[in-house]
Structure 1
Amino acid sequence: MKTVPEVSRVLRYPGSAIQVEGPARDVEWVVQFLGPSFSSRIMGEAHWRVRMVRDQTAFEKRLRAGPDPRARRRPCFFLDTRTETLPLWRGPRGATAVFDRDHGGFAFVRKQGSEVEILCPERNHISRLAFMRIVREHALSRLMSRPGLLLHASALVMEGRSALVIGEKRSGKTSLMLHSLWQGNGDPSSSGGPARYLANDRLWLSFRNGAPTARSFPTIASLRLSSLGLFPGIAAKLEKSTWVPTLTLQESRLRSAPVAQPWNGRKYTLSPVQLCRLLGVEASAAAPVGIILFPRVTGKRGRIRITPMHSLEAEAALWRGLFRAGTPQKAGGLFSARGYPRRIDREATSHGIRELVGQVPCYSVELGLGAYSDRGWLNRLQARMAR
């Protein structure tokens, strides 16, 4: 087996300090995927450790060991509508072992949950997703013990303040973000000012010194073919790209021919940093909240119409925009921090929503059939944020 250099980094997110170790390129990918909202340091104190090991022989040996004889499963990942479970496996003595078949890796949890080792084949880039998800899951569990709101939202930053775009699936949330960022940077025919990327699907909102601040919680960016049809400039650039979400920017550049392909024939997937390169924008880690937008696709003639929302209407929309809204709030699982809350404090959440609506203007945004040919949208948005 060829020896590859290993490196170590400490990743920090509010409430978390996680040491990640492994082959240099794998650690570089995790740092790049989770940044800049997860800051990276070469050294520092950490309360949790995750190490990736690439060993084909050990992986195949563990695979032959077989699953738990009672076919038990362990809850592992806190998703929006369910908790994802993984099958228990026959593992090393003193470790709880699970097998992530989709991402080609075993995870061994040791030392009362404070240390995780991920065992993967030697050449399988998708295993990096298992690495990243475990790091992110632990950070999420610690985050949910802190005061704040975890929201389904895309977001951009202009002049140091963020515009949050909150909505359910098919509400136009991602398309409005793409339109705003493309107008603000990538579209040569637009006069909009510079905009920065903050989040594409999920963000953490806290009240720093009483003022609401949004921080990205990184996820894979999914661009449906139906959405890309609205942005021919973005689609043309994507079709010529060599981006694969499990590769770093440098690894992608080494590919000689376009390889980006729609997953399952329906959507492209990108890492957050690849999405930024696609749109020609820089990324922000966090920013004070300046405005909240709730989009709705009308299916009728017209462009973009923005109208103020009543506070009660905005509060109800924010409840619907919460991560895992309407489902039982249970503990996370194998990779969660010890002391993870059994239930989310609804009273504290309600207070946070009222506080947010009381401080930040909220608007309904109607997206007509001509919404994405509206060249003046970004200027109008900036004017609203400047009030």
Structure 2
Amino acid sequence: MTTAVRIAPAIPAAPAHALVVSDRPPVTSWSLRYFTPWWTATAAEDETPPDTRPPTVDARVDADQTAAVTQLSTADGYTEDTYAGARTLVHRSPGGSVFASQPAQRLAYHVSPDGRRAAVFGQETEPVALAAARLARELVRAQLLREGWVLLHASAVVREGRALLTVGAKGAGKSTVALTLARQGWDLLANDRVFARPDKSGDVQLLPWPAAAALGFGLLDGLGLYDTVRALVLSGEQLHPTQHPQVSRALSAGDRAPQWNEKRNKELKCQFFPDQLVSWLGCTLTTHATAAAVLHPCVSAGPIAPEAEEAAELRASDFFSAATEDRYPDLFRLAAGARPDPASVRERLATLPRRSVALGHHAQANADALARLADTLLKAG
């Protein structure tokens, strides 16, 4: 039996949608679970004629198709890139079709010349389900970019529809700010990425980017959540499969020390499904908001967060583009023709109250300082 899930952002101002179709119910169930907390996801029988479908991902567990498309991906003139952290081989045919494969994951992809039809093939259900959800998200992203939305490197928490955006490079403290305030009653809109677009009134509207949330041991421990997460894992509950095995072993052993990769240049973190932010960590998620203020954090060596200072405006590097996208480059050319305008978002956000703040290593001091600062910024906005 073929099953399908339709996904879309949860507000009419973002008319983008995609369909995930599979003959394996666990594949579509994965997308239903993955997108529901932040977007709209609806299970449906796939009765729509192919020529009238929305942009569609056809996901199949099929060893023969995987081998056939993998062979096409290595035709003369193929290139190598990294997509979702995995080595990816890509061949673009003269007719415009894209064939790609990820050998380590035993996955293969075929995308039509118009970018509206994508197929993913694999040999196991879980990798296919994960890849299909990513592709569906890419199809929606492409439509949003064409509608003028941009993707901002930021976390966001919301109170009464008004959002505090937290921007900064990796390690600046975006997740710390978001989770700390979410534990104090703010709604969580985004952990690391957020769509943004100015509206006719001059406000900047925000939408979430559904994704696994990466949270380090130090943050979980500081928020008093490490023991909760460990107990759930020991009881047999599963975190997101992209979590590094080293993190899983340390968590099972009760090791609270931050985990690092072999080069010690990247912290390895727990990876949570979006719904686990609610059921495990006690957060409340929300589907959209209007930007009201901007916070620029950094991590201080001291134990106490000092007073906040006036912050600089956003930089080009605070937006994801073809040049700065680090995990999901548009290898499949789904966003061809899109011309998003980060400058207009930067200009609007520059008019909002904004502060910089250094976060110390004392969780309660951070929480107290952030609560005061967030309230002040929202009132000023």
TM-score range, shorter chain: 0.7 to 0.9
Please, which runs of 5 or more residues in structure 2 have no aligned partner?
243-251, 262-266
CA distance, structure 2, for counterparts of residue 98 and residue 319 of structure 1: 30
SS state of the match for residue 125, structure 1? helix
Secondary structure of 2:307's aligned partner: strand
Give unmatched runs, 5+ long, in structure 1.
185-193, 248-257
Comparing 373-382 with 205-214, which one deviates more in the overlay? 373-382
CA shift, 1:96, in A, is 4.4
In 1, Cα distance between the equivalents of 2:74 and 2:317?
A: 39
1:31 aligns with 2:37: no
Cα distance per residue 1:261-314 (max 9 Å; x no partner): 9796932112222223222122111111122111011212423533343xxx2x
Q: CA shift at 1:204, angstroms?
A: 0.7
Aligned-pair distance for 1:69? 4.3
User: In structure 1, how many angstroms separate the alpha carbons of the residues matched to 2:240 and 2:16?
Assistant: 25
* Equivalent in the alignment of 2:5: 9
Is 1:304–1:374's contact at 8 Å kept on the other side of the alignment? no
SS of corresponding position for 2:119: strand
Cα 1:291–1:158 change in 2 (3 A) is same
TM-score by length of 2: 0.76
Equivalent residue for 2:150?
149
Identify the residue that residue 97 of structure 1 maps to in structure 2.
99
Deviation of 1:351 (Å): 3.2
Counterpart among 235, 244, 255 of residue 239 in structure 2:
244
For the 8 Å contact 2:70–2:108, the answer to whether it is kept is no
> Matched residues in 2 for 1:167 and 1:69: separation?
40
Partner of 1:187: none
| d(CA) in 2 for partners of 1:206, 1:260 | 43
Could you say which residue in structure 1 is the equivalent of 2:332?
A: 334
Pair 127,303 (structure 1): closer, same or farther in 2 beyond 3 Å: same
Paired AA for residue 243 in structure 1: Q
2:55 is matched with: 48
Residue-by-residue CA offset, 1:211-243 (whole Å, 9 max, x unaligned): 112111122211223433433x21111112213
8 Å contact kept, 2:38–2:208: yes
- The residue type paired with residue 106 of structure 1 is A
Amino acid at match of 1:385: L
Which residue in the other structure is 1:255 paired with?
none
Using the TM superposition, give the Cα deviation of residue 146 of structure 1 relative to its aligned residue in structure 2, in angstroms: 3.2
Q: Which moved more, 1:64-73 or 1:5-14?
A: 64-73
Asked whether 1:295 is paired with 2:290, we answer: no
Matched, 1:68 2:74: yes
Are 2:66 and 2:121, in contact at CA under 8 Å, matched by a contact in 1?
A: no
| 1:253 paired residue number | none
Matched with 1:363 is 355
Hey, what's the Cα distance between the residues in 1 that align with 2:260 and 2:280? Answer: 17
What's the offset of the Cα at 1:352? 2.5
**How much has 1:52 moved relative to structure 2?**
0.8
Partner Cα distance (2:347, 2:32) in 1: 35
**In 2, Cα distance between the equivalents of 1:337 and 1:260?**
44
Which deviations, in whole Å up to 9, do the C-alpha atoms of 1:337-357 show, x marking residues without a partner?
45344xx5xxx4323212222
Matched, 1:204 2:205: no
Matches for 1:54-203 after TM superposition, within 5 Å = 54-56=61-63, 58-59=64-65, 62=68, 68-70=74-76, 72-73=78-79, 86-88=88-90, 96-110=98-112, 112-121=114-123, 123-182=124-183, 184=184, 194-203=185-194
**Normalising by structure 1, what TM-score?**
0.75
Give distance in 1, aligned partners of 2:72 and 2:254.
35
* Cα offsets for 1:3-41 (capped at 9, x unmatched): xx4311222243522121112221121132233443224
CA contact (8 A) 2:165 2:295 kept: yes
Letter in 2 for 1:197: L
Once the two structures are superposed, what CA deviation does each residue of 1:353-380 show, in whole Å capped at 9, x if it has no partner? 122221x211111213335444534642
State the Cα RMSD in Å.
3.7
- CA 1:148–1:97: 2 relative to 1, 3 Å: closer
Deviation (angstroms), 1:153? 0.8
The count of residues paired between Structure 1 and Structure 2 equals 344
Sort the Cα spacing of 1:180 and 1:87 in 2 relative to 1 into closer, same or farther, 3 A.
same
Which of 301, 320, 325 aligns to 1:323? It is: 320
Q: Note the 1:252-291 alignment, pairs <5 A.
A: 266-291=268-293
2:212 is the counterpart of 1:220: yes
Q: Work out the CA distance in 2 between the residues paired with 1:32 and 1:60.
A: 25
In 1, are the aligned partners of 2:212 and 2:273 still within 8 Å (CA)?
A: yes
Question: 1:189 aligns to what?
Answer: none
